[in-house]
Structure 1
Amino acid sequence: MSGFRPYFTYYFKPGKGYLGGDFFFSETGKDCIRVIDRLKEPLRQAVFHHLVVSAQLLKSGEAVSNFMIHPSVRMNVHNKYKKEVENILHEICTDFENEEVQLSLKEAYNRLHPKKHELLPFEDIREEVQELLDNHAIKVLIMNGKHEVDAEEYAAGSNILIGGNTLGRGVTFGGLHTIFYTRTAKKPQADTMWQHSRMFGYDRDPGMIELYLDNRLYKLFCDINATNDAIIAQIERGIENVKMYYPEELSPTRKNVLDKRHVFAVSGGTNYFPLEPSNHTIEDLDKLLQPFNDHEEKYQVSMQIIKKILEHIQTEPEFPIGAFLSFINIYIARNPGAQAILIVRRERDIKKGSGALLSPNDWKLGNNITDKMVLTVYKMTGNKGWDGQKIWVPNIKLPDNAIYYDVAEADE
């Protein structure tokens, strides 16, 4: 209808048993995360995990156990990983009774806590792993532009799949319980990263899945999931103009698909203030701000109070006061009790149109707060411009390391 934004947005909740973003990338999902920066031999540990999971699943009557390795788009990297995996499997097979091999197998077994089947005795798992290795029943497959793999090849048995873009879109992997994800980009895009999330699904056992990735990638996925949750919260609360924000190193999508006439970004950690503000009305603002005196360094208040203050301020078209209000709506939708910092100063004699608004002390005070929105309001005397009128002028700083994206209506 608008030519630019969807006519409506509706959220379909996943069904029972689905493992999605909140399972892996929220507080409840940390048990399945293996940060490879902290592991001595992460790929070897992942292979052992896949072996014991395959034994548990196949002996419990399941059809398939898959392990996905997503390292890079470069084919030589895929070949390198294939060789490394085959060498690890060969080493385990030829020296299966070795004490170190048995210890690694037992460690992997001890991390299993299946929810869908009863955990089999270690000796049964051990025998099944040995049989899989002796029979060369674990397939190692490369999926990329040079290697086409039919879905039937990884629909049954124990499989290890290695690839790049081919793994990212349009394919699903049944029984995927081991994921080794190291692909990264200098300027990562949220939509592309989320499309790579093959770990999501219905047929995973939450007590046996492990995701191996480095700390930076884990943080990026957590940030994407937090934004997704904020979008969902806005939809469920009936907010029509859905907004989003991401950390500064993460963009929502490719720049060439964003229309800069309608999409603009507000950076966290940056001080914003309007050049041509007006109050609606100053009497209402005086009353609203009356409980906050100048002698207090700062106040911690609810975002609802910040919203009420900003709703009494109008600004020039170039200053996106509506964008900041929408940002607050995101926070309130996700967490009604969200807090912000309010700094109130009166009798300020600052010239209108000057390049800076805040005093050095207030600038330093606000900049030291990095995890909350900071609103500093100055009441001008009107002696230096401002049409000779007293007026409240806001300075807004969003939480650091975030970029908030606002989409204007198409006809604006």
Structure 2
Amino acid sequence: METVESELKTNGMFFTPLLQKNSYKQEEINVMQRTVSKLLKKSTTSKKPGMLLGHIQSGKTRSFLGSIGLGLDNGFDVAIILTKNSNALVKQTFERLESEFTECMEEDALAVYDIMKMPAKLRKFELKKKLVFVLKKEKKNMHRLENLLFEMYPDLTARKILFVDDEADFASVAYDNVKDKNIVDLKVIAGQIDQIRARLEHAAYLQVTATPYSLYLQPDDMTIHEHKAFQPKRPAFTELVPVHDKYVGGEMYFEKSKEEGHMASHLYHEIQEEELEILRKSDKRKVKANHLLTGERYEGIRSALIHFMVGSKIRNTQQQKEGQRLEKYAFIMHTITTKSAHQWQEEVMLQMEEQLRNAMEKEDPIFDQLIRTAYQGFVRSQRTDMYFPAFDEVLSSVRDALTEEELLIEIVNSEQDVDYLLDKSGELKLRTPLNFFIGGQILDRGITIKNLIGFYYGRNPQKFQQDTVLQHSRMYGARPLADIAVTRLYTTRRIYDVMEQMHEFDTELRRAFESGANSSEVTFIQKDSDNTILPCNPNKILLSSVHMLKPGKRMLPFGFQTIAKSYLEREMKKIDKHVVTMKQTAKVVHPKDARCFLVEKEKVQELFEMIYQTYTFKEGYEWDLETYSAVMNYLSEETDTNRKGHVWIVLREDRHMARIRKSTGRFEDAPDTKQDELKIARNLARVVPSLILIRQNGAEEQGWRGGAFYWPVLVAPEETKTTVFAGKGVKERDE
């Protein structure tokens, strides 16, 4: 770690108030000091920027505002903040600046301007101040900035200017084959920024992001190297924003959620694709008001609304017990951007609210039943160190909430309504105790929404770039653990899997960046039409169908069912015979355990094809055999040893794994035992992969169809380099 520059002034009039207001930890202050010191000493541009790299919703804004304050005390005269293309985010940023720098503005030492609301003419007195301009990244605004600097106030060009590019995801991506209009526009804007900067005497460039893929993986050219890896095009420098102790991110949703008994194991609630389709387009033939409380096709959104109400009231009851202020809570429904769809969703939700109220007033048993089901779900995820209210108390609170109209169902999709939607601090206004927001683009990243405990997400990940889906769902940020206990995420299994892949992608790339793993190289591969692995351009990361291969990675099918018993028994005779033949003709048999043996990858390929015939699949849980086989082939060939082209088999028989976990109601995705076959498989998988081959008995009482079957778990070798694999669905599960 580099030392903080001792000559940097840290007690100036701009930074000192921020220190007093924000209670920065020393680690944060060090990051700001190093950032400003490097901006003053290093040459930075939009193509080679300084970088503040944080996590989604992790406090990056306070870090870059602190850096601006420190910069203004140490030579910078003007700061130009480029926000994402959102009027709401401009307003929020502007409000935050005015709040943070109030004293400096009152002393006439600083002026903050929204470039869309500039005075007709600034006087010399005003121009002598330190200046901050806020503008969203939009071509017209870049022209306004150019006019302001070079036509109206050319004296500014001689002053030291700091550009801060907030949420800088695609602004400097050099991909030439991208058709997404937003990305193309951002490429144009990046060019405009470079042109403006080139005409300035003293300018520095700082990018702030939580999603660095396009910035760190951008190649210097589009040529594929012989060794199949790309040297990342690094920023001029990178400073990592410290994560605060209240931060909740992907670890909670995709790692802790797999721990039996952890409160996070109840976070995710699967919804069906059919339900999303119903909610995307008005169709009163499919949505009957009198079925909204009972119909299976609305189970997801009904559960979302009721869990939100029950969870909020549980928290309010806990707060009342502790003598705390009762908080207002928020829920986000984000499935599609069209206003007609939002109006339809609002209509459905208002009808559902009305049906709930009617059921309550008529004392229909369905009302108590729905509330009790949600309550019992929260009982399973409650914290043992907190008071948990009795059902009758929660039921009474929900009744009062419906009677007093505490639930507000509101569409949030109009840029024109920003002033109405945001409060004085620039955050989305919570008007009532229960705020159910049906959202469009305005619910995109950046806008702060307090006390979020529910997310219903249905945007199509196939139409998104890698670093936008998690942002849109707004799951991450400062969250009290007591709120996490009543938080729920509703989405399809397909989208959840994409989110999980993205979390892993993010985690592994950060690890490689921070540790210098693989000599700071990342390998990009794809499967061609012949099912072979080839190197590919990094722009493949713009696809949602990406997977990270890394040492010890487990890959397996799950969520499948076996074929009918009579057909299964016939197929299993062939597979059992093939397994015996593999063992008899193995290149190596483990001297201490004959159930472990090394075989040619071609025989494993045949095995996969035979096993595939014994499975049936439901939508969202398909096993892409071609991709699975291609990964196995790739991993077995990435060595120069005599193990090349081989796979270790770790055979286990007579297992009784249930298809669905009783504790969570989810499909079992860990048929292997950590301290037995998985441990052995990882020890064997040094230079080639291991395949844990588990023969399950498949009893009907375990949720199967009464016949034995094989369940394969592929384990990546220890020497696997960090690899981005662009392909179809390969189910991946880390321990």
Global fold match (TM > 0.5): yes
Aligned amino acid, residue 60 of structure 1? Q
Question: How far, CA to CA, are the matches of 1:364 and 1:94 in structure 2?
Answer: 59
- Of 54, 72, 75, 2:339 maps to 75
Partner of 1:6: 235
Corresponding residue SS for 2:355: helix
Aligned: 1:267 with 2:590: no
Partner of 1:99: 365
- Of 513, 525, 537, 1:235 maps to 513
Partner of 2:271: 36
Corresponding residue SS for 2:525: strand
Corresponding residue SS for 2:234: coil
- Segments of structure 2 that go 5 or more residues without pairing to the other structure are 1-42, 49-232, 274-295, 320-325, 424-428, 539-547, 556-586, 588-599, 609-625, 642-719, 728-735
Name whichever of 154-163 and 95-104 sits farther off: 154-163
Tell me: CA distance 1:100–1:7, structure 2 relative to 1, closer, same or farther (3 Å): same
Shift of 1:401: 9.4
Cα-to-partner distance string for 1:310-360 (whole Å, 9 max, x where unaligned) = xxxxxxxx999xxxxxxxxx856xx4x5699xxxx9xxxxxxxxxxxxx99
Aligned amino acid, residue 9 of structure 1? T
Shift of 1:190: 1.2
- Residue identity over aligned pairs, in percent, reads 19
Shift of 1:213: 0.2
Partner of 2:309: 51
Cα-to-partner distance string for 1:22-49 (whole Å, 9 max, x where unaligned) = 1112334442110102964111111110
Tell me: CA distance 1:120–1:363, structure 2 relative to 1, closer, same or farther (3 Å): closer
Contact 1:181 1:212 in 2 (8 A): yes
Aligned amino acid, residue 52 of structure 1? V
- Of 726, 730, 733, 1:403 maps to 726
Tell me: CA distance 1:375–1:11, structure 2 relative to 1, closer, same or farther (3 Å): farther
Tell me: CA distance 1:155–1:238, structure 2 relative to 1, closer, same or farther (3 Å): farther
Aligned: 1:22 with 2:251: yes
Shift of 1:227: 0.4
Question: How far, CA to CA, are the matches of 2:407 and 2:514 in structure 1?
Answer: 45
Task: State the TM-score, normalized to the length of structure 2.
Answer: 0.36
The correspondence of residues 160-179 of structure 1 with structure 2, limited to 5 A, is 160-179=436-455
- Of 376, 391, 408, 1:110 maps to 376
Shift of 1:238: 3.2
The correspondence of residues 4-403 of structure 1 with structure 2, limited to 5 A, is 5-26=234-255, 27-28=258-259, 29-37=264-272, 40=297, 41-61=299-319, 62-96=326-360, 97-112=363-378, 113-115=381-383, 117-145=386-414, 147-148=417-418, 149-152=420-423, 153-154=429-430, 157-204=433-480, 205-239=483-517, 242=520, 265-268=524-527, 271=532, 335=551, 337=552, 369-372=629-632, 373-375=635-637, 402-403=725-726
Aligned amino acid, residue 106 of structure 1? R
Tell me: CA distance 1:232–1:376, structure 2 relative to 1, closer, same or farther (3 Å): closer
Shift of 1:143: 0.7
Corresponding residue SS for 2:388: coil
Question: How far, CA to CA, are the matches of 2:349 and 2:522 in structure 1?
Answer: 40
Aligned amino acid, residue 150 of structure 1? L
Cα-to-partner distance string for 1:45-93 (whole Å, 9 max, x where unaligned) = 1111011012112233331111110010111111111111111111111
Question: How far, CA to CA, are the matches of 2:442 and 2:455 in structure 1?
Answer: 15
Task: State the TM-score, normalized to the length of structure 1.
Answer: 0.62
Shift of 1:140: 1.1
Tell me: CA distance 1:339–1:143, structure 2 relative to 1, closer, same or farther (3 Å): closer
Contact 1:267 1:398 in 2 (8 A): no
Contact 2:406 2:432 in 1 (8 A): no
Higher share in helix: 2
| Larger RCO: 1 or 2 (CA < 8 Å, sep 6+) | 1
Corresponding residue SS for 1:177: strand
Corresponding residue SS for 2:247: coil
Tell me: CA distance 1:78–1:377, structure 2 relative to 1, closer, same or farther (3 Å): same
- Segments of structure 1 that go 5 or more residues without pairing to the other structure are 246-264, 275-317, 321-329, 346-358, 380-396, 405-412
Contact 1:371 1:399 in 2 (8 A): no
Shift of 1:268: 4.5
Contact 2:549 2:721 in 1 (8 A): no
Question: How far, CA to CA, are the matches of 1:244 and 1:225 in structure 2?
Answer: 17
Cα-to-partner distance string for 1:359-384 (whole Å, 9 max, x where unaligned) = 996996797744542316799xxxxx
Contact 2:408 2:432 in 1 (8 A): no
CA RMSD of aligned residues (A): 3.9
Contact 1:143 1:164 in 2 (8 A): yes
Aligned amino acid, residue 513 of structure 2? I
Contact 1:58 1:65 in 2 (8 A): no
Question: How far, CA to CA, are the matches of 2:392 and 2:349 in structure 1?
Answer: 24
Question: How far, CA to CA, are the matches of 2:526 and 2:506 in structure 1?
Answer: 19
Question: How far, CA to CA, are the matches of 1:108 and 1:83 in structure 2?
Answer: 23
Contact 1:58 1:157 in 2 (8 A): no
